[in-house]
Structure 1
Amino acid sequence: MQQPPKTPCQMPDLLTININATLTANKITGARVEVYACGTFAQNPRVLAPSAREKQPVYASYPIIYHNTSIGMLHLLQPRMLSRDELQKLSCVTKKLALIIKRYQATSLSNHYLGKTVNITPYSDHTLKLDAFIEIAASTRFPVIIRGEFGSEKLSVASAIHYNSVLKHQPFIEIDCSTPCLSAFEKNIQRCFDQGRGGTLFLHAIDELPLPQQLLLAQLIQAQEASHEQALKGTPYNPVRFLVSTTRALTRQLIAGEFSQQLYLKLNYLNVQLAPLSERKQDIPEIVEKLMNRHRLYPEQDLGQAVKKALCQYHWPGNYQQLERVLIRLLTLAGSNPIQLTDLHHNAPEMKPKTNKAAAKISKTAIVPATKMPLMPDLIPQLINKNYQAFTGLHPALRKALCYVADNYCAQMSLQQLADKIGISASHLCALFKSQLNNSYKQIITELKVEKARRLFINSPLARVSDVAEKSGFGDISHFEKAFKRFTDCTPRAFKNALNHTAAQVN
């Protein structure tokens, strides 16, 4: 069993500041908060009776409750008689204090066991509601589906649920479900099952898990449920709790036939939807401040007011992770202090305003299309046919990359590997794909492979689906089927059958 940190419930400055801010916001003065090292049974409010010379109570304590357990007390040093409305308000305050304390304790445990911080930063109404859900989820052992956009704090929510539960000193193991190889996934999931007995398995990006792996996972969960039945007969039983994250709605994948109904039924108990950073911009200043405290290179390093304003106004499609990456880049590379807007635009070009004075003048006299169109609408056929002359007007590095892609797209090759081949940074190459082709490298590669498969089917309608998948560069048949359907609106088998039916009618 893992050993807990020796002092998980100390009151450091950060926790004290947040507690005092909550008391001040609710106009509670002459009070102090005591945090217990271990939970005790739920208590009732206590009032110290006045002495013979006093008419009013001089001391009162109100319990701070979490999971029906007292985790601390709010002491009012010189209380007066409180009305019913004031008592109800005090109950709401102690509830907020409980969520603040438990979030800090979960962060302490996460740092101790995982070396990672729980990135649920502000104490706004939105995040306190999320904390309230975490309290409910932590009080059970049912599976939880955590849905949020790419880059949102899904891992933080999962670890907060685990480290606020009775399993907090048991293993917490994260599994990346985007592993394409069935045999590798099978070995990994079985090893994690064995290591995580009595603890929690967090299945990250379960919406990316191919169907064969989904069925395997459902079978393992079924086997665990069978072990539970044996436990009722006296056999030792150490179950694993499941927390899963997804960027897409599993119900839509279920309807589309892309997600196993058996697995969905075993996971669909508790659900939470994380709001994207673009919908809670009021939280950004506090998030920025926390990240600055964590990553600044020296105590005096700071951001200029214009930079802070730009960070708060940006829409952050990559959410928390993108914001953290931009700040780390700024703190590391910026040459000024406080950091200026020119540093931000240089080190994070995606945040640079798209319009300028010249563009504004043009927009008054010309009709600008609502969406940016690709410069090369016939890019995929040009790549398939290796028509290198078509790339002449593009950036030299992008032209070189496309020529290499045309010759090697069936091989397994990441953007980083391609960037290394042509001698530029992956971030620069990614920006070139976006700006000049209005498309990502990953999507272009996938579309190329699908077009290759489509042409193979047309040339050989009787070819096996698995053979075509392999020849067109797809290492996993399930991934091939999903990608083919996304770009052609039909499955590979349906496409093949339609070709055979047309050929039969012609003959």
Structure 2
Amino acid sequence: MVLETDIVAGRVERRRPSRAPLVGEFIRGAYHPKRTLPELLRGLMGSLAGQVAARRGQLRLSGLGTLAFESAAGAFNAGWIDGTNGHARNGRHHPSVATAASPAKPSNGSHGPGPSAPPTAFPLVYGNVALGELQLEWPAAQPGAVAWQTMCEEFAAHCARLAMRFETQRWAGQRLGRPLLLVGASEALLRIESFVEMAAFSTLPVLLTGEFGTEKALLAAAIHCCGPCAAAPFVEVPCASAGGQPAQWFEQAHGGTLFFNGIDELPPPLQQELLQHMHSRLGQRLSTPAAPELRVIASSTADLYSLAQQGGFSRALQAELDFLRARVPPLRERPEDIEALVTAAIERQGFDAGRLLTDDLLAQCRAHAWPENLFELERVIARLAVMSRGQPIRYADLLHHAPHLAADRRIAPRPSPSAPLPPPAPRPAEPPLAHWVRCAMTRNLPELARLHDGLRKALVYLGEHHADAISLDGLARQAHVSPSHLSFLFRTTLKTTFKSLLQHIRIERARQLMAEDPRRRITDIALTVGFVDLSHFEKCFRRIIGSSPRDYRHRGEPS
């Protein structure tokens, strides 16, 4: 059975999808990357209490302690009690309480008007492991309390996932020498965390796809760390420069996880040898290899299915890997995470984000497409933090040290309060269809990076395969989105349809062929660019160019 997750189409978290955005909204409001887990949970509890009108409650997390709170007349009092200073949970150690407010006093039932209903408990469960419990107490006969229970269940699930973020950070710091922490609270990121939770407790192979610079390696570590085999080996194979042999890799990762980082770059001979050591879940081989059983996780920036169809990757290996699949969203699809990511990047350089972060910097960062994603953001923010000498990063700093960031969408710095407001700049015209036709045919990745990831992949594919028989369903598979969503992207972004764009690309290629060889037969050109009917080709040519192919060849392009 294949469990596929499409982050754009939102098919990861199937439980009560209509309610999840509401929970996500106040999680994003309370989230801050500088906070420790106790601080973060305290802020989330304050948001929850305000949302569901709970009178009092507590959140207990194994290895961390209990967060107790009381809320009345708009006042929220909370604090950590019974801290265990990082006692073990199933061989793991949670971070100790870094900061804590004054402990909330146990309630004697007199806080707030009227009696309270018995507390309602919501378990904090990650996969199949109980991490703790959320208990909430409402006034007796509180209207709407039953409706809030679903929200509280989802809130408890989000708290469990946030706790495992910090567990991954601790594990990575000890095992990998790098305290990796997933940063952000966008809807796309919360969905990918749901996938990590489900995948962590399965032994099926996992395939993580996504653009260069996305958190594929971090998520691979999280899948291993958050599952039942966290103490087992975690072996990374950098496929672009893989050292050793598959037999050695499997032996080193015995009982744990073997992570192929960038498997699309693994040389073909090693791909075939790898198949000989993997236990086939599809029955491609009748014999069982002597290699030990383990979990396989692979990451790829390329679409392995398309690569295999074109002969650039082992089709048998692609089939064995493609069980649990998730696409890691690029930064341009997560604008809500930009501030948190920039803040975390500044802090990693040892600077105070509260001092360096400015509206100018955030505006330009949100406008930028980040074609290299987190790698580019880390590099640019580190440069700006150092070159600004720890002072607030203004628009002038961007002009000097990150001019490509300053030029994005020509966002000007905010005027001072005393300066008169300039007249609003005219909205730039949308690029014409001919622009995107040229970008698709020339594979202009910087320009295509401005588009939705699925639309970008579709245009790249059309530019390379326009002469083939292409259907909307087939193109949607190449773009990793649903056909209806891809059609929507064509209409709303490019103001055209898939068929119309394909015809424009084919006609543009026909014009190029006429220029390259003026004596080449029109019929031959039509067949070469993908038309099977000459009359259809001539009709499309006249509609797009304004003249017949023969007149165009004799007279040249109309002025």
Q: Same fold per TM (> 0.5)?
A: yes
Given that residues 146 and 245 in structure 1 are in contact (C-alpha distance below 8 angstroms), is that contact kept between their aligned partners in structure 2? yes
Given that residues 209 and 301 in structure 2 are in contact (C-alpha distance below 8 angstroms), is that contact kept between their aligned partners in structure 1? yes
Instruction: Say whether 1:168 aligns with 2:168.
Output: no
| Bigger mean CA deviation after superposition, 239-248 or 20-29 | 20-29
CA distance in 1, matches of 2:191, 2:61: 22
Residue in 2 aligned with 1:202? 259
Instruction: Say whether 1:36 aligns with 2:62.
Output: yes
| Secondary structure in 2 matching 1:190 | helix
Q: Deviations over 1:417-474 (max 9, x none)?
A: xxxxxxxxxxxxxxxxxxxxxxxxxxxxxxxxxxxxxxxxxxxxxxxxxxxxxxxxxx
Instruction: Select the structure that is richer in helix.
Output: 1
Q: Structure 2 vs 1, CA of residues 301 and 97 (structure 1 numbering), >3 Å: closer, same or farther?
A: same
Instruction: Say whether 1:89 aligns with 2:151.
Output: yes
Instruction: Say whether 1:314 aligns with 2:368.
Output: yes
Q: CA deviation at 1:69?
A: 2.6
Q: CA deviation at 1:334?
A: 2.1
Q: Deviations over 1:11-46 (max 9, x none)?
A: x95212322333333325533321113369xxxxxx
CA distance in 2, matches of 1:325, 1:227: 49
Instruction: Say whether 1:256 aligns with 2:256.
Output: no
Q: CA deviation at 1:336?
A: 6.1
Q: CA deviation at 1:291?
A: 2.0
| Bigger mean CA deviation after superposition, 120-129 or 24-33 | 24-33
Residue from 163, 168, 173 that aligns with 1:101: 163
Q: TM-score, normalised by structure 1?
A: 0.59
Q: Structure 2 vs 1, CA of residues 223 and 100 (structure 1 numbering), >3 Å: closer, same or farther?
A: closer
What aligned pairs does 1:334-373 form with structure 2 within 5 A after superposition? 334-335=388-389, 337-353=391-407, 370=435
| Secondary structure in 2 matching 1:147 | strand
Q: Structure 2 vs 1, CA of residues 79 and 210 (structure 1 numbering), >3 Å: closer, same or farther?
A: farther
Residue in 1 aligned with 2:10? none
- Alpha carbon RMSD of aligned pairs, Å? 3.8
CA distance in 2, matches of 1:56, 1:335: 55
Q: 2:132 corresponds to which letter in structure 1?
A: G
Instruction: Say whether 1:330 aligns with 2:384.
Output: yes
Q: Structure 2 vs 1, CA of residues 354 and 136 (structure 1 numbering), >3 Å: closer, same or farther?
A: closer
Given that residues 58 and 136 in structure 2 are in contact (C-alpha distance below 8 angstroms), is that contact kept between their aligned partners in structure 1? yes
Q: Structure 2 vs 1, CA of residues 13 and 352 (structure 1 numbering), >3 Å: closer, same or farther?
A: closer
Given that residues 102 and 164 in structure 1 are in contact (C-alpha distance below 8 angstroms), is that contact kept between their aligned partners in structure 2? yes
| Secondary structure in 1 matching 2:278 | helix
Instruction: Say whether 1:73 aligns with 2:133.
Output: yes
**Residues paired across the two proteins, number:** 338
What aligned pairs does 1:440-451 form with structure 2 within 5 A after superposition? none
Q: Structure 2 vs 1, CA of residues 81 and 104 (structure 1 numbering), >3 Å: closer, same or farther?
A: farther
Instruction: Say whether 1:221 aligns with 2:278.
Output: yes
Residue from 320, 328, 331 that aligns with 1:266: 320
Instruction: Say whether 1:302 aligns with 2:356.
Output: yes
Q: CA deviation at 1:161?
A: 0.6
Unpaired segments ≥5 residues, structure 1: 1-11, 41-47, 232-236, 378-507
Q: CA deviation at 1:216?
A: 1.1
Q: 2:177 corresponds to which letter in structure 1?
A: G
Residue in 2 aligned with 1:287? 341
| Secondary structure in 1 matching 2:357 | coil
Q: Structure 2 vs 1, CA of residues 227 and 344 (structure 1 numbering), >3 Å: closer, same or farther?
A: farther
Q: Structure 2 vs 1, CA of residues 223 and 62 (structure 1 numbering), >3 Å: closer, same or farther?
A: closer
Unpaired segments ≥5 residues, structure 2: 1-33, 64-88, 92-106, 411-424, 443-559
CA distance in 2, matches of 1:327, 1:177: 28
Q: CA deviation at 1:278?
A: 0.8
Q: Structure 2 vs 1, CA of residues 228 and 35 (structure 1 numbering), >3 Å: closer, same or farther?
A: farther
CA distance in 2, matches of 1:31, 1:288: 34
Q: 1:76 corresponds to which letter in structure 2?
A: L
Residue in 1 aligned with 2:188? 126
Q: Percent identity?
A: 27
| Secondary structure in 1 matching 2:166 | helix
